[in-house]
Amino acid sequence: MTNRILCKYYASGACRKGDACPFSHDWNDPMSQVCKFYLLGSCGYGNRCRYNHTRPDRATVGSPSSPVGFRNIPVASRPSPQGTAAVSPASAAAASPPPPLASPGFCMRLPENFDDELGWGEVPEEPEVDVGYWAKQPLCSMAMKGFCARGATCPYLHGELCSSCGKWCLHPYRPEESAKHAQRCAEERAKKDKDEALRRSSADVECGICLEQALPAVCGAAGLEGSAGCLWSRGAGRLCRLAFELWARAWCMSCQTVMGKERKADRRFGILTACDHSFCLGCIRGWRAGATTNSAEEVTRSCPICRTRSHFIVPSTFWVSCADDKEALVQNYREKLAMIPCKHFNYGNGSCPFGGSCFYAHADSSGRPEEAQTLRHAATEDGVSVLQPVRLSSFLDGFDRATRLTHA
Amino acid sequence: MTTSRTRLFKEFKEVQRECKDSDLNLYPLDTNIFRWTAWLKGPEDTPFSKGRFELAISVPDAYPLVPPTVRFVTKVFHPNVHFKTGEICLDILKNAWSPAWTLQSVCRAVIALMSQAEPDSPLNCDAGNLLRAGDLRGYNSLARMYTLEYAQDSQKK
C-alpha cells in the first residue's frame, strides 16, 4: 500500500508531486522496506535479506494520474517568498487551477510561447495569491539546496529558509508542514549536539588492552566547530564536521597527542556489562574470542582488569560513565538485536543453541514469533523421559511450567 | 602484528618516562621490539638480596592477547624457577594471563614471586622439598650461595 509508505523525496524535502504523489506525505508513516532486487526478480540475499520480500498489492497502488500535456504545465506565476516581483497574471489565476504535476515521466520542456503565456514584461497590477492552489504546488528543489539558476523566473515555488538545517525547504503555504519540519530539524540538531558532547567527553578514555584511545582526541581544538572560525557553520554540517575532523587530526598528529584508531570503524568501545573498565571493541572482542590463547573460558569472559565476568559486550561509539546511560545503552542494544533475525534459528528452519534467551529475533518468514517451548514428558517404567531436545534455557525460562507439567 | 608493535612501543615509552627504578631495568633489543631484557634486583629480606638477575622476555605476535615468554638467564635457586632452563612457573604467564598486564607489571610479579615462593607447584624440586620440609635455613643458605655465585652486581654487563 504505497499511500501508507513515506515518500522518499518528501522525506528529503524535494517531492515535486505534492498532493498527487502516490506515496504518503505524513511523517508518521514508515519508509518502504521492500527489497527492490526482490521486486526485479532476484535478490542475492534470499531469506537473509534485511529488506522485506513481499510484493505490493496491485489494487492498493495508487493509479497514475491522468496524463498531463506540457501545454498544461502550470508555469504560471509564482509568488516569490521574498515578496519581490510576485507575478500573478490574471489570466492564469482566474482560470481553474491547472492539474497538479503528477504524471510519471513528466517532461520539464517549456512551451515555445513561454514568455507570451506568462506575460513577462507586463507589470502586474495586484498580486492575487490563491493560497489553496499554491499550497498544492511543490517547492523548487534547486532553490532548496541554496541556488536556483532561474531565480525569479522559476516556475516552482521557492521555499523559506529553515534555520536549523539551513535548507530553503519551508513551504510558504503549508504552515503545519513547515512547523513539523522545524520541529524535526530541532530534534535532530539536539541529538547531534548531544552525540558530539558525548564523543568529546569520551575522547580521552583509554583501552585497557592496546593502551590507545579509542576516539581521536581533539587537543584544544574542541569547541571550534560552529564558532565564527568555522566555514558553513550551519547547513552543510557534514562538510564542516569532516573538515574539522581532518584539521583536528592533522593538528594533533604533529603534537603526538592523538592516538585515535586509524580506521573509523575501530573507533568504538566495547562496553562490559558487569564492570566499568574501558576497552575498544576490537581488542575486547579479540580477547573474549579466545582464539589465540589457551586460557579457560572463565578467564577470557571476564574483564582483563578486574576479572568480573560479563556475559556480553555492547558496542558503543562513545563512553558511558553514568549507570543510567549504560542501562539505556544496553536496553537499546538488545532492542536493536531483537529486530534482527537469528541466523541459527533461520526462520524456523534451524535450531538456535541459545533458545529462548537468544538476543536475536526468533520468528518465521511470515513474522510470527516462535512459540514458547515447554518440556513434554512421558511416563516410562523407569521414571519420566523428556520427548524433546532439551536446552538449558528451557529449564531456566519455563521452570515453573515444566514443574507444573511434571506434577500434573 | 601491528597491534602488538604499537602496544610495545607505548610500553617502551612508558618505561622510559617513568623514573628509573633501582630494582627494575627493562629495555628492548635495539633491533627487535619483540625481544626484551630485564634486570631485576633481588628483593630485600630474601636470600636473593644484593643479587641482580637477568630476564629474557620474548613477546609473541599475538601479544597482548597471549602472554609473553619470560625466563631467567641468570641461574636462580627458587622452587618455581627451573634451575637449568630458567623457566618460570607463574600463573599469570600461563592460564591466568590478562591483556591488562604489561611487561613491566610482569617483571614486578616475578619480583613478588622471588619473595613469595610457591613450593606446592615446584619446577625446582630440591628447593621445593627444602621449603616443604620446613628447612628454611637450608633453603636460604643454598639460595644465598647461588645468588653470590651467579648474580653479583659486578657481573652486570
Domain hosting B56: range is 2-155
Residue with the larger pLDDT of the pair B6 and B34: B34
| CB-based contact, A210 to chain B, within 8 Å | yes
Residues of B in contact with A304 (CB under 8 A): 98-100
* Spatial distance between the Cα atoms of A159 and A144, rounded to a whole number of angstroms: 7
* Spatial distance between the Cα atoms of A291 and A268, rounded to a whole number of angstroms: 21
Mean pLDDT of B42-52: 87
Low-confidence stretches of chain A (pLDDT beneath 50): 1, 58-124, 217-259, 408
Return the pLDDT at A49: 82
Q: Which residues contact A388 (CB under 8 A, 6 or more apart)?
A: A373, A375, A376
Interchain pair B97, A211: CB under 8 A: no
| Residue of B19, B89, B107, B125 with catalytic role | B89
Distance in Å, alpha carbon of B35 to nearest chain A alpha carbon = 18
Return the pLDDT at B58: 94
Interchain pair A299, B96: CB under 8 A: yes
* Spatial distance between the Cα atoms of A184 and A26, rounded to a whole number of angstroms: 13
For A307, left (φ over 0), alpha (ψ -120 to 50), or beta? left
The total domain count for chain B is 1
CB contact burial B25-59 (16+ within 10 A = b; e otherwise): bbebeeeebbebebbbbbbeebbbeebbbbbebeb
Q: Given B66, B96, B98, which is nearest A292 (Cβ)? A: B66
C-alpha cell at A159: 521555499
CB A93 within 8 A of CB A65: no
Check which CATH number belongs to the domain holding B8 and give it. 3.10.110.10
Q: Please state, in angstroms and as integers, the Cα–Cα distance from residue A21 to each residue in A11, A33, A64, A68, A153, following that order.
A: 13, 18, 9, 14, 25
Of B50, B13, B37, B28, whose CA–CA distance to B148 is shortest? Answer: B50
Residue with the larger pLDDT of the pair B6 and A248: B6
Q: Please state, in angstroms and as integers, the Cα–Cα distance from residue A238 to each residue in A144, A189, A357, A377, following that order.
A: 17, 12, 40, 61
Return the pLDDT at A377: 59
* Spatial distance between the Cα atoms of A402 and A369, rounded to a whole number of angstroms: 21
Over residues A139-175, the pLDDT tens digits come to: 888 887 777 888 778 888 888 888 777 777 888 888 8
| Mean pLDDT across chain B | 86
Backbone angles phi, psi at B69, to 5 degrees: -95, 120
Interface ipTM above 0.85: no
Mean pLDDT of B68-73: 92
* Spatial distance between the Cα atoms of A39 and A53, rounded to a whole number of angstroms: 8
Return the pLDDT at A65: 37
Mean pLDDT of B21-44: 87
C-alpha cell at A315: 558496542
Distance in Å, alpha carbon of B106 to nearest chain A alpha carbon = 14
Return the pLDDT at A231: 35
Interchain pair A292, B11: CB under 8 A: no
Backbone angles phi, psi at A331, to 5 degrees: -60, -45
Q: Given A287, A296, A304, which is nearest B95 (Cβ)? A: A296
Tell which A residues from 304 to 363 touch B, by Cβ distance under 8 Å.
304-305, 307
C-alpha cell at B156: 652486570
Return the pLDDT at B35: 92
CB contact burial A281-307 (16+ within 10 A = b; e otherwise): bbbbebbbeeeebebeeebbbbbbbee
Question: Which of A95-109, A281-295, B53-67, B71-85 is the least confident region?
Answer: A95-109
Known catalytic residue: B89? Answer: yes
C-alpha cell at B59: 613477546
Interchain pair B98, A211: CB under 8 A: no
Over residues B110-150, the pLDDT tens digits come to: 999 988 888 888 888 888 888 888 888 999 999 999 999 88
